[in-house]
Amino acid sequence: MRGVAILGSTGSIGVSTLDVIARHPERYQVVALSAHRDVQGMLDQCRQFRPSLAAMADPAAATALQRAVAAEGLGVEVMAGPAGLDAVATHPDATDLMAAIVGAAGVLPTLAAVRLGRRILLANKEALVVSGALFMAAAKASGAQILPIDSEHNAVFQCLPPGFGGGLDRVGVEHILLTASGGPFRCRPLSELHDVTPVQACAHPNWEMGRKISVDSATMMNKGLEVIEARWLFDAHPEQIRVVVHPQSVIHSMVQYVDGSVLAQLGNPDMRTPIAHALAWPERHSSGVAMLDLFEIARLDFEPPDLVRFPCLRLAFEAVMAGGTAPAVLNAANEVAVARFLDGELGFTGIAEVVERTLDSVDIGAADSLDELLAVDARARGIAEQQLRRVV
């Protein structure tokens, strides 16, 4: 029986994780859960899975949850804020942590679990975007296993040979090919992109995701962050990572070998597949996902990414090539810009403009310590807020 803690249990990844776990009650026990402010969602999960600990990032939500679980006699301890997130991530009964908080807020609690040598099911890409070198060094020192949950990285993980951590050249890999759907605006006229609404940007054609990651998919910043994540997960040089637009989202990613072989992982676009793979690894069990019908799919299309249409992807490649604190600046500026877009205070095309202006305004240095990275993150957010006034 494996004890599972989930950071972000009421989000789409968290809900999918609990769906898979509920199918295998003999294998998994939910020991701790966290959410931001969805009190009803967390209360429902506490009723069903009876964790010993539930944490809410929002203190007012934690107070409301504490009253609700006490009234029902559920026996769940409730905590609030960063201390609560850390307590969930480092729960003594947790062998596995699903790190599914979106954004930089998930970095510190996930890193705390890494330092304890836990098995990390990593859906929070920002942990590697912001602190990739430090994160992977901590995993190596503690013996923590990092299993990727993003469908693309999980696909690459399945297509790579054992021992890839010593460098892709050593195991005969030519390129990692990350597939991208192109999002909802792949074919929309460029002249119409500025007037895109948050509702339109969040209407992904293939995946059901949270609002922030949906916007990142629409700008292809999500793919850019995945490039940075892949660089650290798979010990890859940036030039070994390529992006391929594949509108059907059936091939989740590929690995190209020096002998000309290309290995691909295919499946229906449902996050329960990579979640089940990581939970059961190195074994496999059912996920609840329908089997892929290739006759129904009928065709698979591919095209190169349009960096004029998707400048955020270009900026991400530039950041990973620059290294140091550049990816942390990129991520911080993007989080600020996307939040303003979702609030209706910034046009869609303004997201990339804010990110580029911020990257041009922040001095890039070495990412030598977590304190320095967090300071850079805060500095970049402040500058991004300043740049917003020039873009709006």
pLDDT in tens, 249-290: 999 999 999 999 999 999 999 999 999 999 999 999 999 999
Residue 383: CB atoms within 10 A of its CB come to 21
pLDDT value, residue 392 = 64
Distance CA 152, CA 178 (A): 6
Distance CA 329, CA 341 (A): 18
Question: Running DSSP on this structure, what letter comes out for residue 268?
Answer: -
pLDDT value, residue 213 = 86
pLDDT value, residue 117 = 97
Angle at 28 between CA 25 and CA 29, to 5 degrees: 95
Spatial neighbors of 149 by CB under 8 A, at least 6 apart, are: 13, 98, 100, 121, 122, 123, 271, 274, 275, 278
User: Tokens 């990285």 belong to which residue?
Assistant: 153
- Global pTM? 0.92
Which residues is 265 bridged to in the sheet? 253
Interval 222-233: pLDDT, tens: 999 999 999 999
- Cα 341 to the center of its chain, rounded Å: 20
User: Cβ distance 380 to 362 under 8 Å?
Assistant: yes
pLDDT bin (cut points 50, 70, 90) of residue 145 is: very high
Distance CA 27, CA 21 (A): 8
Residue 106 pLDDT > 90, yes or no?
A: no
What residue spans of the chain are helical by DSSP H? 12-22, 39-49, 59-72, 81-89, 107-115, 126-142, 151-159, 198-201, 211-219, 221-233, 272-280, 294-297, 311-322, 326-342, 350-361, 370-391
Residue 41 pLDDT > 70, yes or no?
A: yes
Q: In angstroms, what CA-CA distances link 328 with 11, 22, 157, 319?
A: 23, 36, 24, 9
For residue 198, say if its preceding peptide bond is cis, omega within 30 degrees of 0.
no
Interval 293-336: pLDDT, tens: 999 999 999 999 999 999 999 999 999 999 999 999 999 999 99
Domains and CATH numbers, the chain: 2-148 (3.40.50.720), 150-270+289-306 (no CATH)
